[in-house]
């Protein structure tokens, strides 16, 4: 199997692997963009993002560490989460297919 | 005299440990190139504190002195506080330290809180073994009596309780923002016959400061989770009651769980679903209300619930817990003046720390949080 290319790295905040389409949500008013099974990509989460989080298969954020909202909630929900990537919202594109490894803190292109 | 010096030595040692924990938490809670405390939702802690921390700390001093003067017994004080996570949150030292009050006014409440915490935590203030033990065997038995346990192994029930907890935890953040432990406290793990027990208590879920919270059908939730023996190697509760040393979800090791809502034992999973549904409705309403607030209103709310958090202590001496007029004046009449200090001095200083090494950041933060400076 060919080695997958890492497109982004961050802090592994909640273990697990998930594949899905990217949905970049910069403001809670965009929560409805998220469809069940999408991967939530945002600067940082807070309780206003809950409707999007509940539909997310994984979460990726630009900022934050092991104690941020995204990290704690995703560990409770048992979904992968990578935080502190610094530029996920800039590098990833809506509907891009990716693979998230919450154990290693890595994000791969998933063709 | 000797006794006084010894207790001062002890307090100094405890403050040193506390500063280590605070700084390690702040620096560990962020990624590189990020300034600690600036990314917090919805406003950075130091920004809010500029408007009320001196007034709050003075009030706290007065209330604690009154409690001492009236010789109110420790037992009664602990009963009033009920949940130690409330005072643990004050021991972040931000409100107590970020002001120009005297060293004496800063150290007095810290010393008192450490004494209360020592009583709550059976003398192990800093949870040195990764356990936050609040209940002895007898208390544990009393709380567990009659509970109805659900299996945590099945996918559906496991998902239901996981979702309920994630949403409940988020709700406390919606109410109390970065001070969410004003609405929850976690303790354990307790080694019991069936495995390792973790207790999660959610309280004050309908504070009067938020009208939207009144739509919630419950104000307290107790969750009892029993994990497979030895999962405790992954469950390590630290001083601030967080399980921070892992990125692993421990839910796959959940053997069984039970709930009490408003003190009533939950017997059917459908009840949990109903609580969840109600919670989501309230969160929706609350989110809309919070999103509509401007910066001054956000700071006013921040002050409101910070004062509300010392209500149990105020009630003991029949003091009004509400923020004094001076706080509103600071927010609405002196906003420009105080905001300039935030924008031009405090925020800038925090931003500068992001480029420094860990050691340098550690030194600056320790100095900033040290009440003895």
B206 shares a domain with B194: yes
Site from B24, B25, B26, B31 to mutate, A interface, most A CB atoms within 10 angstroms? B31
**Chain A residues lying within 8 Å of B41, measured CB to CB:** 44, 46, 69
Question: Shortest CA distance to B184 belongs to which of B193, B192, B175?
Answer: B175
Cα B204 to its chain centre, rounded Å, is 12
Number of compact structural domains in chain B: 2
Q: Which of B75-79, B90-94, B349-353 has the lowest mean pLDDT?
A: B349-353
Please say if the pLDDT value at position B38 is more than 80.
no
Tell me whether residues B249 and A64 touch, CB distance under 8 A: no
Residue B36: what pLDDT?
57
Which of B260, B275, B291 is the last residue in one of the domains?
B291
B249 shares a domain with B153: yes
B354 shares a domain with B237: no
Count CA atoms within 13 Å of residue B95 on its CB side.
26
Bridge partners (DSSP) listed for residue A12:
A82
B1 part of a folded domain: no
B353 shares a domain with B303: yes
Which of B259, B291, B323 is the last residue in one of the domains?
B291
B143 part of a folded domain: yes
pLDDT one-digit tens code per residue, B138-148: 999 999 999 99
B214 part of a folded domain: yes
Site from A76, A80, A82, A100 to mutate, B interface, most B CB atoms within 10 angstroms? A76
B258 part of a folded domain: yes
B364 part of a folded domain: yes
Q: How far apart are the C-alpha atoms of A83 and A16, rounded to whole Å?
A: 14
Between residues 38 and 77 of chain B, which touch chain A (CB distance below 8 Å)? 39, 41-42
Which pair of tokens denotes residue B240? Answer: 């601030």
Q: Is B111 exposed, middle or buried (0-12, 13-18, 19+ CB in 10 A)?
A: middle
Residue B209: what pLDDT?
85
Q: Which of A61-70, A102-111, B185-194, B204-213 has the lowest mean pLDDT?
A: A61-70
B346 shares a domain with B252: no
The answer to whether the pTM exceeds 0.90 is yes
B361 part of a folded domain: yes
Q: Which residues 6+ apart lie within 8 Å of B134 measured at CB? A: B84, B120, B121, B122, B187
Tell me whether residues A14 and B249 touch, CB distance under 8 A: yes
**Chain B residues lying within 8 Å of A65, measured CB to CB:** 28-31
B162 shares a domain with B61: no
Please say if the pLDDT value at position B360 is more than 60.
yes
Between residues 212 and 271 of chain B, which touch chain A (CB distance below 8 Å)? 242, 244, 247-249, 251-252
Q: Is B318 exposed, middle or buried (0-12, 13-18, 19+ CB in 10 A)?
A: exposed
Taking CA–CA distances from A54, the nearest residue in chain B reads B163
Taking CA–CA distances from B32, the nearest residue in chain A reads A84
B269 shares a domain with B160: yes
B279 shares a domain with B343: no
B178 shares a domain with B111: no
Please say if the pLDDT value at position B35 is more than 70.
no
B81 part of a folded domain: yes
Residue A59: what pLDDT?
98
| Full residue range of the structural domain in which residue B77 is found | 8-126+295-369
Question: What is the H or E stretch that residue B33 is in?
Answer: none
Q: How far apart are the C-alpha atoms of B22 and B19, rounded to whole Å?
A: 5
Chain-wide mean pLDDT for chain B? 92
pLDDT one-digit tens code per residue, B279-304: 999 999 999 999 999 999 999 999 99
**Does residue A56 contact residue A34 with C-beta atoms inside 8 Å?**
yes
Tell me whether residues B287 and A78 touch, CB distance under 8 A: no
Please say if the pLDDT value at position B33 is more than 70.
no
B178 shares a domain with B106: no
Residue B327: what pLDDT?
97
B300 shares a domain with B282: no
Tokens 């604690």 sit on residue: B64
- Strands (DSSP E) found in chain A: 6-9, 11-14, 17-24, 39-42, 58-61, 81-83, 97-101, 106-109
Which of B232, B265, B291 is the last residue in one of the domains?
B291
Q: Is A51 exposed, middle or buried (0-12, 13-18, 19+ CB in 10 A)?
A: middle
Please say if the pLDDT value at position B235 is more than 90.
no
B145 shares a domain with B121: no
**Chain B residues lying within 8 Å of A13, measured CB to CB:** 247
Taking CA–CA distances from A44, the nearest residue in chain B reads B39
| pLDDT tier at B249, thresholds 50, 70, 90 | confident
Query: Helix crossing, B155-176 with B269-291: angle to 10°?
Result: 30
Residue B232: what pLDDT?
63
Q: Which of B188-192, B268-272, B313-317, B347-351 has the lowest mean pLDDT?
A: B347-351
For residue B125, give the DSSP letter: T
B3 part of a folded domain: no
């Amino acid at each position: 199997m060919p080695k997958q290319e890492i497109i982004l790295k961050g802090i592994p905040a909640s273990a697990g692997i998930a594949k899905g389409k990217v949905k970049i949500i910069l403001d809670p008013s965009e929560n409805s963009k998220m469809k069940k099974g999408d991967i939530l990509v945002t600067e940082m989460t807070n309780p206003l993002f809950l409707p999007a989080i509940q539909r997310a298969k994984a979460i990726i954020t630009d900022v934050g560490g092991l104690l941020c909202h995204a990290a704690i909630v995703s560990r409770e929900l048992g979904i992968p989460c990578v935080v502190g990537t610094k530029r996920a919202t800039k590098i990833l594109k809506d509907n891009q297919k990716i693979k998230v490894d919450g154990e290693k803190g890595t994000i791969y292109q998933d063709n | 005299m000797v006794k006084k010096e010894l207790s001062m030595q002890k307090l100094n040692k405890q403050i040193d440990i506390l500063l280590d924990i605070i700084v390690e938490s702040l620096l560990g809670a962020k990624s590189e190139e990020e300034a600690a405390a600036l990314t917090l939702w919805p406003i950075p802690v130091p920004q809010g504190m500029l408007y009320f921390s001196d007034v709050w700390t003075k009030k706290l001093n007065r209330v604690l002195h009154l409690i001492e003067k009236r010789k109110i017994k420790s037992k009664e004080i602990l009963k009033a506080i009920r949940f130690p996570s409330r005072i643990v949150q004050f021991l972040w030292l931000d409100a107590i330290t970020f002001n120009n009050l005297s060293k004496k006014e800063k150290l007095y409440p810290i010393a008192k809180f450490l004494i209360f915490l020592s009583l709550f935590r059976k003398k192990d203030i800093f949870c040195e073994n990764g356990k936050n033990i609040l209940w002895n065997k007898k208390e544990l038995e009393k709380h567990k009596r009659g509970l109805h346990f659900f299996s945590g192994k099945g996918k559906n029930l496991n998902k239901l309780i996981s979702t309920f907890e994630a949403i409940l935890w988020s709700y406390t953040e919606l109410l109390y923002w970065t001070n969410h432990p004003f609405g929850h406290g976690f303790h354990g793990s307790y080694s019991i016959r069936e495995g390792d027990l973790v207790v999660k208590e959610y309280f004050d879920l309908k504070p009067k400061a938020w009208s939207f919270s009144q739509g919630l059908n419950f104000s307290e939730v107790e969750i009892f989770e029993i994990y497979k023996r030895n999962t405790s190697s992954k469950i390590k509760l630290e001083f601030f009651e967080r399980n921070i040393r892992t990125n692993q979800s421990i839910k796959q090791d959940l053997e069984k769980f039970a709930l009490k809502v408003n003190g009533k034992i939950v017997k059917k999973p459908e009840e949990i679903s109903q609580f969840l549904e109600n919670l989501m409705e309230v969160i929706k309403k609350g989110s809309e209300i919070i999103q509509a607030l401007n910066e001054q209103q956000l700071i006013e709310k921040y002050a409101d619930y910070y004062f509300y958090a010392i209500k149990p202590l105020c009630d003991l001496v029949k003091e009004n817990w509400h923020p004094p007029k001076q706080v509103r004046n600071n927010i609405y009449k002196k906003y420009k003046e105080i905001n300039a200090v935030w924008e031009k001095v405090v925020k800038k200083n925090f931003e500068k720390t992001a480029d420094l090494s860990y050691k340098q950041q550690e030194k600056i933060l320790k100095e900033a949080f040290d009440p003895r400076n």
